[in-house]
Amino acid sequence: MEFTDLEYFICVSELGSFSKASSLLHVSQPAISCAIKRLENEFSIALMDRSTRTMKLTKAGLAFYEKAKLIIKERNRTVSYMRSLSAPQPESIRIGISPFYSKYYLPPFLNKLKEIDGLKLSITESISANLEEGLMQGDIDICFIPLEPINPFLSYKTLCIEEILVAIPKSYDVNNKAIQGKGLSYIELKELQDLPFVSLKQIQKISKLINTICLEAGFTPDVVYETLDWDTVNIMIANGIGVGFVPDILYQEDTGGGRKVPNYYKIANRHVSRHYAAAWPKGKVLTPMQLTVIELFRKSLAEYRPTIE
């Protein structure tokens, strides 16, 4: 039983998809399938039910998933402890993250860091453009930012893939033009061309992608309000200021609790997404501790992020 096989199995179990695990791990689907098959052969029991179209763990698979997580957790603790014997001084790592993503992604990540001894962490919050500059100036060791557009002076490791959704106030008539689909409905971007938009400021990395997809749909958004924060975009849309784009992490169903939420749609005829990644200066060799921090951040995203059909 190899640790790598366990990690592949855990990743597939958490994401519920071989293809998503393959994308995040940068490993081919056949390699992941072979790893899981090795585990099943070793224990002479099926861990995954292959009779259905969607990935589903068997009863044995569910039990093994919990055991596998304990094994990997103890492995990480042991590695961290043994390294601390040879390097007793805590290793300082400076990470950067945007204020928006910090409120969603940092809490589960910081809980996972409790597994690591000998780490002194400092966190810088700023927009992605400033974080990239901090990396190149040597003020930050690693930052967690959207990948696109790629900075040629940085190296990246994809941690998850975000889908970009359209958000529309519930009071807007354009909701009647939604296209029903399995799961979340769709909207044609051309239906939004005469509507006011709420947007992030142009300095932010997502702006280039949004401008491109709107131009491809034949229009330039009429932006009536710009902000540096996705949450503000979402709230403004919910309150009828305009339509806009938001990352899938902001998707929330209307539970009728009194808090206003917009209607969310997938974009018709194209899948709009972007990669969220760890970044560091190109040519820099990361320490084992830095690699561990990146991996724990990836795992916290896999456990926390929403699944949207």
Going residue by residue through the chain (309 aa), what tens digit of pLDDT does each one get?
Answer: 788 888 888 888 888 888 888 888 888 889 988 988 998 898 898 988 877 777 788 899 899 889 988 898 888 888 877 776 665 567 889 999 998 889 888 888 888 888 777 788 899 999 888 999 999 999 999 999 988 888 889 999 999 988 999 999 999 999 999 998 788 899 999 999 999 999 999 888 888 889 999 999 999 999 999 998 899 999 999 999 999 999 988 888 765 666 789 999 999 988 888 899 999 998 888 988 899 999 999 988 888 776 666
Task: For 161-273, give the CATH class.
Answer: alpha beta
Give the CB-side neighbour count of residue 169, counting CA atoms within 13 A: 17
The contacts of residue 27 (CB under 8 Å, 6+ apart) are: 8, 21
The class that CATH gives domain 3-84 is mainly alpha
- Tokens 């084992």 correspond to 288
Angle in degrees, CA 105, 17, 23, rounded to 5: 65
pLDDT of residue 215: 93
Helix 3-15 and helix 29-43: axis angle, to 10°? 110
Looking only at the bridges linking them, the beta strands covering 263-267 and 154-168 are antiparallel
Distance from the Cα of residue 57 to its chain's centroid: 23
**Would the pTM of this model clear 0.85, i.e. be above it?**
no
CATH topology assigned to domain 87-157+276-304: D-Maltodextrin-Binding Protein; domain 2 (3.40.190)
Secondary structure of residue 285 in the 3-state scheme: coil
Query: Where are the chain's structural domains?
Result: 3-84, 87-157+276-304, 161-273
Residue 256 is encoded by which pair of tokens? 């009728």
Assess whether the region 3-84 and the region 161-273 belong to the same CATH fold. no
The residue type at 174: V
Residue 123 CA to its chain's centroid (Å): 19
